[in-house]
Every structure is written in C-alpha cells, then in structure tokens.
Amino acid sequence: MAKLSEYSAKRRFEATPEPAPAEPTHAGGPLLFVVQQHAATRLHYDFRIECDGVLFSWAVPKGPSPDPADKRMAVFVENHPYDYASFEGVIPPKQYGAGEVIVWDCGVYSPDEGGTCFHDRAEAQRRVREGLAAGKLSLQLRGEKLKGSYALVRTREAKSWLLIKHKDRFVSHDAITAQDRSVLSGLRVRELKFVAPPPRVPASRLVPAGEPSALPVKLAPMLTESTDAAFTREGWCWEPKLDGYRVLACIDGERVQLKSRRGLELATTFPRLAAELREQAGGGTMLLDGEIVAFDADGRPSFNALQNRFQLKSAVDIAAADRSVPTLFFAFDLLHFAGIDLRARPYRERRRYLAQCLLPSQQVQLVHVAADGEAMFAAALASGFEGVVGKRADSRYEAGKRSKAWLKVKPTQSAEFVIGGYTRGKGSRGALGAVLVGYWDGGVLRFVSGVGSGFDARTLDALLQRLQPLQRAKNPFSEKPDLPRPITWVEPQVVAEVEFHEWTDDAHLRAPVFLRLRDDIDARTVQRPHPRLHANTDTAGNTERGTGADTQRNDDIDAVLQQLDTPRKQFDLAIGAHRIHLSNLDRVYWPADAAIEQPALSKRDLLRYLAQVSPLMLPHLADRPLTMIRMPDGIRGQRFFQKHWEQARPGFVEAVTVFSGSKDEQHEYLLCNNLPTLLWLAQSGTLEFHVWHSRAQVGADCVSQSTDYASSLEALEASVLNYPDYVVFDIDPYIYSGKEAKGAEPELNTVAFEKGKEIAFALRELLLGMGLEPIVKTSGKTGLHVFVPIMRTIDFDAARHVSELVSRHLLRQRPKDITMEWSIPKRSGKIFMDHNMNVRGKTLNVAYSPRGEPAAPVSMPLTWDELASAHPLDFRMPGVIKRLSRTGDRWSDALARKQDLAKALQR
C-alpha cells in the first residue's frame, strides 16, 4: 500500500503492537475521526481523519481547543492505517514513537462548507481531497468531546497547519484537554505504564459503519421488565427513568416524525422540538429513541404539565406553551444514523454512537448514564424522576418487545390498565367514586380492581369529561365485578396508570392508587404486566426451575457445605429427603501445582465446588443426555469415558432412553437435573460433564413436540432431541508449545490461546454482520467454544451445514491461520475449526465443568470483553466461585436469547 509506505518504513511490526498496514474491512457509513493522546518524548495529540482507506494525520502539540481564539499548531505526519484508530497501548522503547497511547476522542466527521454529507461517503471524501489540496478544510466533528465546526488551514510551510474552532454553539473557553480519559477504556495515558493494555476494539466498531439501509417504515420501541431493586453489576448501565412520553424521533432530511408508543404523530404538537431535531441529521437520516419531558416551576419533571401541554391544539396556544412550559427531548438510544441501521449492535456501541452523533441543544439532550445502579436510583428519586432503567451492555435493540435486557426499578409497582367502567361516589365524590380497570387477555377484558384513591377534584372532573361520552349499556369485562355501588360501563378506550402494592392470589390488585391517564398508550395493547424480577433472579427470569433444572435454594447448598466441613472421610450426605454415601473424601484428584501456588484438590473440594456452582451449572445440564469422564483415582489415574449407565442408580437420578442408529438398539443416558444427581456423579469419580447440544424437553421454540426418542431411528430424528439449541463453533488451536510428547495433543500455552482468541473475535465479527449474536466460553484447555443460540427449527444436519459454511468463509478470509483439515499433521500451527461437533450425540464439556487437567481449570463462560484479556488459568476451581455473581447470570441469559437462524441466513 503506497499510501502507507512511510508508516511501514518507520516501524518494526514484530517489535511494536501497532497495527500493520491493511485494507479497511468496513463496508461504508460516515467517515471516522480520532484523536489519540500520545505520551512520547513530549505529550501531544494526534488528530486523524479517515479518507480513501487511510487516516490522514496531524500531530497537535497542545491538543484541540473549542476556543476560536486558540489557533493550534498541527504538523502533518505520515498516513496511518485505518485500524490504527482504535490503538491503545504502549509502543516499546527504542521503537518509533515510543510511549503510551490512548484514544482520547473519536467519532464521525463531514466536510461542512456548503452543508454536511455524513450520509454520502463518496461526496465527503471528494470534498476532503479538494480541501486538503487547497490548503483549507472545514469540517464538522461529532465526537464525545469535540463537537461542532473546525478548520484545518495550511501555513506557508507544507507540513505546518493550524487547527481552529469555528464560532458555533459548541464554542467554549474551558480547557477541554483536562478531560484526560480514554473514551474507549476509561484509562488515563499515564496509567498504561501500570496496567495491561486494554482489549482492542476493532476500528470498524468505533463509529456507525456497514451497508447502507433505508429507515424502517414502522417501528415500535423496545420495552422494559420490572425488577425490585437497582444493582451494580459488570456489563450493566443505568439511566434515570424519565416521567414523560416515550417517542421515536425519525429524521429524514427535512422531514421529522415524532411517533408515540401508540403510533400518534406528535411533531405538530411539539413544533419547536421538531425543528431542533431536524438539525441533528445534517440532511441525512437519524432515528432516536427517547422521551419528551416537561418540567414544573421548580424544575422537576411533571407528567401533568406534559399532559396539559399535549391537549393544546391551536398554534397560538402551542407557541405560548413553548415559552412558558418548555419541553425537552432526552435521547437514550440511536437506532439509525446516516443510512446505517444500528439495531443489531450491542447497547454499549449504540450508546457510544449516540454520545458521538447527538448535537445537544437547548431542547435536545443526552440522558445521563452510570454503572452504579444504586447511586443512580437514589439520585434519580432526589431529582424528581420516577426511578431508573438498567440496560445490559451487550443487548440488541428488540423493537416492540418487552425484554429482560432492560429493567426498570420504581419505588412502588405501577402498570397501565384499561378503564371499563366507574361507580358512583359518596357525598362530595358525586358521580364518580372509583374507576374499574382491567387488561386484555386473548380478546377479553379481565377485571383486576376498582381504584378509588389518588383523585383530587380536578382529576375527577377531567375523568368524568373523558368517560361520560363513552358510556355503553353492556359490561365490557369478561366477568361482572362484585361491587356494592351502581356501575356505569364505558367503552374500553381510556388507559390509566395505577400504583399498587402487589397482585393478590386471585389476580386482583392490592392497595391500588390512581396515578394519571396515559394518552400515549393505545388501550388495545394493554396486557397483564409481567411480575417483577427479583434482584437475585437471573436475567433470564430463572428462579426455581430455570431451563429445566431444579436449581437448589441457598439453604440446601449451605447445608451441603456444612456437612462437607466435617473431618470424616466418609458419611451419608443429606440433601433434603435424599441421601448420598460419600467415601474417600480426602483422595487427591488434582495434585498440588507449585508453579501457580495451588494446593492439592481432593474429592471433598470437588463436591464443595459443584455445590456452590450448581445454581449456574444445572440449567446448562438440564434435560441434556450426559456423557461422563470419570477419574476415580484422580487426574493421574485411569480415565473412563462413559455414555451409558447400566448399573443401579438412585431414585432422584433421571434418565432418558435413546435409539442408537449405528447399533440398532436402545441406550439409557443419564440426565443431571438436580443437585443430588450432580453430587452423586462427583462421588462416582465424574470430573468432567459433557452434554448434547439438544435437550429432551418440548417447548414453544421447537418445531417438534415429539418425545419418542427410543422406538426407532425415524422417531429419534423426528423428536426434539434432533433439534439443537445452538450452532457450535469449536475453535481448537493446534499450536504446540514444543514440550509435548511425540504424537501428543498441543498442551495449554499462551501463544495458542491468544491465536484462538483472535479467531474467535474474527468469527464474532462475521456472525454479527449476519445479524447473529454469538456467546463464548473457554474449553478449560487451550480451545474456545462459540455458540449461536437458535430457535429449535433446524435439525443437526442443517446446523452442521451452517457451521461449515461460516467456518469455510472465515477460512477463505484467513487461510494462514485456520484449517479444516482432518489430517493432524496438516493442522499443525493453525486453528482447527471442527464443524462436525454439530452432530446428534456429539458432546462438549458443559459450562462450569471442571477439567481433568493440571491446575483444575474450568470451562468458563465469558463476556466478549472478558475474553479479550483472559487466560485459561484465570479460571480454576479455587477462584471461579468468586466470579459467579458477575458472570454466570449474563451468560445464561445470553444462551436463552434464541435467534431465528433462517431469517438471519435470508438477510
């Protein structure tokens, strides 16, 4: 690449972690800019803009300034590769540019003289080339720190330029360089001397990029589930729950639409707000999810003020209200920008794009986000908001769905209900005593409560005005409410928000209080709200049963651990009504390892580990035929690979009979569906637990509802056991340490694992491009297992075919790194991708399973962020328990999010 020849000549890529020259891999979208803070001989800032596949670069000694009076020197330097945009790390001593580098800011940019063109990549690059050739380039920056119009002006010396801020609303006299943290890792540049370099984010993920697509014609907002308490957990973000109208703001050139949850067009109701939003897209497209909020005289959010504002119809009244009761649009998600659909991107990326692309104004603001859920909840209530919303950082935007990836927390429960009638009041209450409310259930309106508190005189008058014209003769509810006072029935068209303590056993509301009318919600869409998730419930909503396993209560686990504390080497372990005879508890299963300072681990230690990990491990074992690897004398003794169990077994151990096509006979497989079974297997010397990719449980996600696995091969192939829950990608490094015995498999080594990680991230990038979200776990040895959870609509043959197609596509992209050869000598030095793991009856070690290897490693589920800095020996039995509250819930939830593979392949 001639444009990068100077860059290459100055660097030795075997010695520096900087990226080597390469063609950009992204397909399109707005142009990228990045500012990197670089602690070289002198601290300076590198200002870079994308054009024609490279980054044109200037060294700015004092950094950019938002003050037009500061004309900052900018020295033109060599072009850098596009991938350099996300580089953060330490350039080693004696290498060119030695020192620490962080991404101080990044975002999208466009030439802006004569208007911006974020949506037209070719036009933007043409104008950049012309501006640079002429020695003057005006551009609009949309970063997290730098926003607004700037100019690059060449001086008399060819490589000397000036970076100058133009006068606009983003002018500031503050020293913006005091904001000294990376927008990617959050690190300060000086901190890189003391910590490991942060995981590299692909440069193509820094800003919206991809194939252009049209704005969606119809779209419903993603909705939240309720939970009872905010929490602080890695991978979750929190924002205040705004007390306003939920709105999707669709901007297409000069046209602005503000669509409410019920599909009402609000742009004419809030014309000033629509006018400010029109400026956001720069003539292109933009789709924002947010909330319209009004404030009272004390500056606190007021839903009542917003409703009064909503009722205005005349232009004169609306203009007057804009002056006296201003409304703001708080944006909290970006779904589409400059022709790029972002709904499939994880929330953490959409949030970064929103912070970059939004241009805050008097009426358009970015909602605040924090990681500390408890502190955010307290601050939100103190500021007059009604609670908080937590969002999982890796969640996609599920339009129109109520998702456990978004959780709302309010000090009391509230929900929307349809008004179907009202009773007469007593005394001063006059014509209205209580409203009768319910929800739609399969076409009928279910009555849930009469609501007689929460009204004042003004509210009562307003309610009567709304309800009296809707009177009808017939009861709209499916049953007649048993109430002592006369009832007036009304057409079920009005929605009320009601606060209540809890649901009663007969599905009514306890202590209901009227809060307000909800004109922004279509009465036809009101269904029974889901019960609150509890803070100790996993994000998939699993409590007692989860995905089929009888997850034990904490008191059962505590009882097991107390019994294991006895010094006796054998005794009968009590688990509820069940008993397991334990023996040889001090037998060493994993010898001590001095190199990592790990003591010997015994059968007792294995039982302790499995008891503690059982709430997270059992859901992954449940209803799946089990293959055991037994090592009753420890990892240095004999190993038994056991598929079938023909001996006697306790009554609490479940099993399933499966037809064997190869032998034309039936075999019994164990199912590990409860804690007693898990511990019984450990007592029997089972160190590794391997499971099928399908499960013997019918469900709405499966095209087959047959549980006949045993009568014939045809019956087995028609049963649910022939439909996997996921497509598997088995990443198996055949990169040797050099210490292996002749003919042995590669041993655990860092070089192999790092190369496996590189391939896993490349695979993830490919799958995300198909609209599929993969999840990952370590194998417990050197490999990685990547899963794509799917609806059970394809059989194993189809899953194997998909895995092979994707793997071969990745092989064509990286032929030097990947192999699919069956010949072991031909695999040497490469990553073997085994699509044949997608076969009925094939097994992989289950999540959290120990491995019969030195150091007692565990097959550990990880987030992709965690994988970036992971090493297999980070996840060993003694230390895994400490990680469970942070990691397990997220992975179980991810596995439960089934994806429609057929639709993804059509895309």
CA–CA gap between residue 343 and residue 215 (Å, rounded):
11
Torsion angle, alpha carbons of 861, 863, 867, 872, to 10:
-20
Residue with tokens 């010396």: 157
The C-alpha atoms of residue 653 and residue 645 are separated, in whole angstroms, by 11
Q: Is 19 helix (H, G, I), strand (E, B) or coil?
A: coil
Whether the CB-CB separation of 350 and 396 falls below 8 Å is answered with no
Dihedral of the CA atoms 315, 319, 321, 326 (nearest 10)?
Answer: 130
Whether 882 sits among the annotated catalytic residues: the reply is: no
Contact 656, 709 (CB under 8 A): yes
Q: Give 605's contacts (C-beta < 8 A, 6+ positions apart).
A: 589, 877
Beta strands in 757-819 (DSSP E): 775-778, 784-789, 818-819
> Tokens at residue 699, please?
């469900």
- The residue behind tokens 């804009």 is 322
Q: Which string of b and e fits 830-867 if b means at least 16 CB within 10 Å? A: bbbbbbebbbbbbbbbbbbbbbbbbbbbbbbbbbbbbb
Q: Are residues 45 and 64 in contact, defined by beta-carbon separation less than 8 angstroms?
A: yes
Question: Helix H segments across 685-831?
Answer: 713-718, 750-769, 796-813, 824-827
Q: Which two tokens stand for residue 622?
A: 């449940």
Contact status, residue 797 vs residue 784, Cβ threshold 8 Å: no
Residue with tokens 């099993």: 655
* Closest to 199 in 3D by CA, of 872, 886, 810, 761: 761
Q: Cα(730)–Cα(715) distance, rounded to whole angstroms?
A: 29
Task: Give me the DSSP letters along 98-140.
Answer: -EEEEEEEEEEEEE-TTS--TT-HHHHHHHHHHHHHHTEEEEE
DSSP-derived pairing of the beta strands 487-500 and 513-517? antiparallel
Q: What is the four-CA torsion angle of 394, 398, 403, 406, rounded to 10 degrees?
A: 50
Hey, is 249 helix, strand or coil?
strand
Alpha carbons 496 and 480: distance in angstroms, whole number = 20
d(CA 393, CA 372): 13
The two most distant CA atoms of the chain are separated, in Å, by 96
* Paired tokens of 10: 């100055």
Q: By the 8 A CB rule, do 723 and 702 touch?
A: yes
What are φ and ψ of residue 801, in 5° steps? Answer: -65, -40
Residue 339's nearest CA partner among 361, 359, 357 is: 357
- For the chain, percent helix, then strand, then coil, each to nearest 5? 25, 30, 45
Interatomic CA distance for residues 120 and 104, integer angstroms:
26
Q: Residue 282 CB: number of other CB atoms within 10 A?
A: 24
DSSP secondary structure letter of residue 594: G
Output DSSP code: residue 872.
Answer: G
* CA dihedral (389, 393, 395, 398) positive or negative: positive
Q: How many CB atoms lie within 10 A of CB 553?
A: 13
Of these residues, 145, 147, 165, 241, which one is catalytic?
Answer: 241
The residues that are catalytic are 241
